């Protein structure tokens, strides 16, 4: 993580190097600053002077006053699963590429087909709820770990991406790695709006907005490309390391054979090997 980006916690979902050095090469990074600034100011306004209220309000109130307004600033078309059908394996939200797809989904709101054209699913928690720990209600009824819930949702619905938030912390999960529970990309949005710059705001806005999930001409979304770029970079680093180890061992072996042919003392050879290590 880049020094200063204390609001960003990339936890094994993307490559930190890719986020710091390569993601800026994507066309999306050259986003219109006026529109970006408008979104930043809009989210700041939602937070301003309301933190104490958010900290003490119910999950439903937090969704109405903060989370859904942020979804709208991020230009999302989101569907809300109705309580009649919502069960242990159904997320709070589903995000659609456009209004038509959202309207079509509501024709299937009482079945799994509701999620067929969604590009992501989402779940919201109260401000005080940890996104990693199992909570306990009065009476001893355990509420599942939110990260575990997201994994279940991703395995039971078509979308590959998910958003999890308690209003303050916003996370992205991917279907391939959600089972680990600790593989996510997180933004501390409260920290970002209080101390972050407009350029730093891109690490939230460009990753969580609707367009981040929409496939391009190649069928891949911005998030897909960031993930693939991260995997490719990690593989290259691993291949380079393996090649360097091979070359080092080859040089070491050749040197050892040469030392034997020259009658070098075995103890001296051992010392040289340790120095190479």
**CATH number belonging to the domain at 8-214, selected among 3.40.50.1110, 3.40.50.2300, 3.90.1570.30, 3.40.50.720:** 3.90.1570.30
Output the DSSP codes for 224-257.
Answer: HHHHHHHHHHHHHHHHHHHHHHHHHHHHHHHHHH
Q: Which of 111-120, 187-196, 223-232, 247-256 has the lowest mean pLDDT?
A: 247-256
Phi, psi of 257 (to 5 degrees): -65, -40
Do 260 and 252 meet the contact criterion of CB atoms below 8 Å apart? no
Q: pLDDT confidence of 89, banded at 50, 70, 90?
A: confident
DSSP structural state of residue 182 = S
Tens of pLDDT along 114-165?
Answer: 999 999 999 999 999 999 987 665 444 345 799 999 999 999 999 999 999 9
Give the pTM: 0.81
Mean pLDDT of 261-276: 56
Scan for tokens 């009658």, then name that residue: 263
Q: Where are the domains of the chain?
A: 8-214, 232-276
Tens of pLDDT along 15-70?
Answer: 999 999 999 999 999 999 999 999 999 999 999 978 889 999 999 999 999 999 99
Which of 4, 5, 2, 65 is closest to 187 using CA atoms?
5
List Cα–Cα distances, 128 to 17, 19, 122, 131, 166, in angstroms.
32, 29, 18, 9, 7
């Amino acid at each position: 993580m880049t020094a200063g980006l204390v609001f960003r916690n990339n936890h094994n979902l993307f490559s930190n190097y890719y986020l710091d050095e390569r993601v800026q090469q994507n066309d999306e990074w050259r986003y219109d600053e006026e529109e970006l600034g408008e979104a930043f100011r809009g989210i700041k306004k939602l937070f301003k002077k309301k933190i104490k209220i958010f900290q003490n309000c119910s999950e439903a109130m937090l969704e109405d006053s903060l989370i859904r307004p942020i979804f709208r600033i991020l230009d999302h078309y989101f569907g809300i699963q109705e309580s009649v059908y919502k069960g242990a394996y159904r997320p709070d939200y589903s995000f659609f590429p456009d209004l038509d797809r959202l309207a079509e989904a509501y024709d299937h709101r009482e079945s799994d087909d509701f999620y067929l054209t969604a590009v992501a699913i989402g779940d919201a928690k109260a401000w005080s709820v940890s996104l990693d720990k199992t909570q306990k209600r009065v009476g001893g009824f355990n509420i599942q770990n939110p990260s575990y819930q997201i994994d279940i949702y991703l395995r039971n619905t078509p979308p590959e991406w998910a958003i999890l938030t308690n209003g303050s912390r916003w996370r992205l999960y991917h279907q391939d790695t959600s089972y680990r529970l600790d593989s996510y990309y997180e933004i501390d949005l409260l920290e970002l709006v209080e101390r972050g710059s407009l350029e730093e705001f891109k690490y939230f806005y460009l990753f969580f907005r609707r367009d981040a999930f929409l496939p391009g001409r190649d069928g891949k979304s911005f998030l897909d490309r960031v993930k693939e770029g991260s995997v490719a970079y990690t593989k290259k680093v691993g291949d380079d390391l393996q090649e360097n180890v091979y070359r080092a061992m080859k040089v070491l072996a050749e040197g050892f054979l040469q030392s034997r042919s020259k009658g070098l003392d075995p103890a001296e050879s051992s010392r040289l090997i340790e120095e190479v290590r």
